Amino acid sequence: MERKDKLLKTLCRNFGRISTSTISDALDRLRIRGILSGFHSISTGAKIIGTAMTVKELSGDLGEYSLEDFRIGEVIDNAESGDVIILDNGGRKISNWGYLASLAAKLKGIRGVIVHGGVRDVEEIRRLNFPVFAEHIVPISGKTRIKIESINIPIRIQDVEIAPGDLVVADGTGIAIIPQEESLRVLQEAKHLEELERVLSSRTKRGASLSELSRKYKHM
């Protein structure tokens, strides 16, 4: 277990230096589906790198579920330092995350939150400087509208399979989900692409033609 934890920390440290654009190119080359689109960072410049803790939710009209069904506190209680909480509410325009949850999560060492749905209290979250990515910003509370169905089982968002423990990288460009069993291959490919980008950047600055570079390196 200690060896596995050390490997995860090393992977997170390495992926934390790589943009989601480069990771996306690496995933494409390896034919791995792992990019989530249409999510927005609540805070400018926020970046997340950590391991996925997955949450599947159901949603309905006001009063359809009980207050106890909301269970966001239980989600945070079950998360570990270094986790990224991924809440799957099917993209509904209902808030299932806000300031108090962000405060509790930050104090516990959770790396960030990704919401397939809505969040609120954005001004407070920005002041807290806690990374939250979501599809919608809405004031509508999820209490009695949302029921947490399961915690830490595989989920599927936008045709991307997400399993507990998968690596998550999110920045201003997008969100990348890297299957844990493929993480070393993806990292190796991403580092190769980064080096290629450095070469192309250097040669472009020296006056090389982008079209010539593209033909030579089969890139861009």
Give the largest Cα separation in the chain, rounded: 65
Task: Output the pTM of the full model.
Answer: 0.89
**pLDDT for residue 216:** 56
Token pair recorded at residue 87: 């809440």
Provide the 3-class DSSP secondary structure of residue 201.
helix
Per-residue pLDDT, averaged over 145-152, amounts to 96
Closest CA to 164 of 179, 175, 149: 179
> In the predicted model, what is the mean pLDDT of the chain?
90
**pLDDT for residue 200:** 63
For 16, counting Cβ atoms within 10 Å of its Cβ (0-12 exposed, 13-18 middle, 19+ buried), the class is: middle
Q: Which residue(s) pair with 56 in the sheet? A: 88, 150
- Check pLDDT > 90 for residue 167: yes
Give CA–CA dist 56/125, Å, rounded: 23
Length, in residues, of the chain = 220
Taking only the tens place, the pLDDT of each residue in 48-97 is 999 999 999 999 999 999 999 999 999 999 999 999 999 999 999 999 99
Q: pLDDT category, 16, cuts 50, 70, 90?
A: confident
Token pair recorded at residue 192: 């190769």
Token pair recorded at residue 38: 């249409």
